Structure 1
């Protein structure tokens, strides 16, 4: 007579064997992972710590001593990506006279800030606005035939020549190399300090008049610009 085992008993035996086998595999995997953790832990414990207590500090990378200065920050913003050494001297050093003279001109601070934006190509001309606002036209609001860049607005716009003629600020048309900053430097070399003040206020008044024409529906009037420049300069001279 054969002695058999019930299905339940056989199932329990197989389950126990499989459980032991799985536990063995799991133990091997865990042991491998544990060894890695232990090795990392040993390496961390073997790192030598400094006996000196050093505190974290802020460091301004644009200065050798790590101290932040507004002067350096201004130079970086004014020069932008052009703050590089070219031919042994940085572009900032080569154009330092331009910015130094700008701040020494006796005009309103708002005019100086405007002129900094002009020289840095940072004015909200239609050409600059079109690069930031989708669907915005970059053509000039007045001639509608050229891109409204800073140079176009302050050099090619017909009103400019009439204003400069009335104010006696006409210069050599071929004295600049094609950029706004080159154009300004050419005027800086031609004019004395007083004429530079009139030139700066003239550009500022043109920009003010341009905005009034576009946003307030004013008529283009060179005489209005000339009067505005003369009134401002008279007020500045009276304040001195």
Structure 2
């Protein structure tokens, strides 16, 4: 019926809509994210490219600073320093000049020297040299600039300033601490023992599920295996779904197929194991929003 009255691409979209066995009431969901829940933050990210395109138009050559952004986000520095570096490059730091231009009743003088106007370039450094720097140069530059800005904020908000030697020490210590933390985490991961399949308690059955999705035009599929406390397989099933779904939706269908198989076998005590944290969290929270809410 659907294929008869709709165009092929429309029919495919309609037939790919997951159906619920529980037939819940219709509800309004937010299409801006995969959870179906509206947030102001998500709405901002949805609206931002629309506003930018309407004000500046499309640019065929893209952002001329793309290479610089890649370098910034790949720096081996704490996230707070990388975010600071991005703000500095975008002239987004709340300097006195920036605040004054936005209508705040503040003076534009630098709180440190009290002579020049405090712009980003005055507060930190002229940034046209960034593209020529090596990753290590950029890390040193931005972590030092962050330490300078941190001291500036102490002057503005707490009326205290650190000696120059302490600012250098803060920059160096921040960089060293981050790199040591990364090395420690890698060492911990290498030493961690491999975790294999664990048998369920006596008289409990464990259901392991998995979903697979292929390219456009191919249908998704799911697989289920049920084992007892001795690790013996008592049932298994594989199934090709009616449409092509995303990874999370396919995994939700796999969980559903496992539960239906357990119900068919009249298994009362079960544990369902999935490798999708997103689906597991949605089930534990009984969240029926988002792209796989109808399956949950």
Query: Residue 112 of structure 2 is aligned with which of 142, 149, 155?
Result: 142
Supply the distance in 1 between the matched residues of 2:138 and 2:85 (Cα, whole angstroms).
11
Supply the RMSD in Å over aligned alpha carbons.
3.6
Residue aligning to 1:98: 68
Aligned partner of 2:131 among 188, 212, 215? 188
Structure 1: distance between partners of 2:172 and 2:30: 49
Aligned to 2:21: none
Aligned residues of 1:107 and 1:236 also touching (Cα < 8 A): yes
CA offsets 1:5-52 (integer angstroms, 9 cap, x no match): xxxxxxxxxxxxxxxxxxxxxxxxxxxxxxxxxxxxxxxxxxxxxx97
1:226 aligns with 2:196: no
User: Out of 208, 212, 225, which is 2:154 matched to?
Assistant: 212
1:148 and 1:131 map into 2 onto residues whose CA distance is 12
Q: 2 CA distance for matches of 1:222 and 1:108?
A: 22
CA distance in 1 between counterparts of 2:56 and 2:177 reads 37
Structure 1 residue aligned with 2:77, among 107, 113, 136?
Answer: 107
Residue number among 83, 86, 92 corresponding to 1:116 in the alignment: 86
Query: Structure 1 residues 149, 213: closer, same or farther in 2, change over 3 A?
Result: same
Looking at structure 1, the residues matched to 108 and 94 of structure 2 have their Cα atoms a distance apart, in angstroms, of 11
Q: Which has the higher helix share?
A: 1
Q: Return the TM-score normalized by structure 2.
A: 0.42
Q: Distance in 2 between matches of 1:147 and 1:84?
A: 33
Q: Aligned-pair distance for 1:122?
A: 1.4
Task: Compare the two structures and name the one with the higher strand fraction.
Answer: 2
Structure 2 CA distance for partners of 1:220 and 1:238, relative to 1, 3 Å: closer
Q: Per the alignment, in what secondary structure is the counterpart of residue 202 of structure 1?
A: helix
Q: 1:83 to 1:107 in 2, by over 3 A?
A: farther
Q: Is the partner of 1:121 in helix, strand or coil?
A: coil
Do structure 1's residue 199 and structure 2's residue 171 form an aligned pair? Answer: no
With over 3 angstroms needed to count, the CA separation of the structure-2 counterparts of 1:84 and 1:119, relative to structure 1, is: farther
Shift of 1:84: 5.1
Paired positions, count: 147
Unaligned stretches of 5+ in structure 2?
A: 15-28, 33-41, 184-296
What is the CA-CA distance between 1:83 and the residue it aligns to?
6.0
- Which gives a bigger RCO, structure 1 or 2 (Cα 8 Å, sep 6+)? 2
Q: CA deviation at 1:132?
A: 2.9
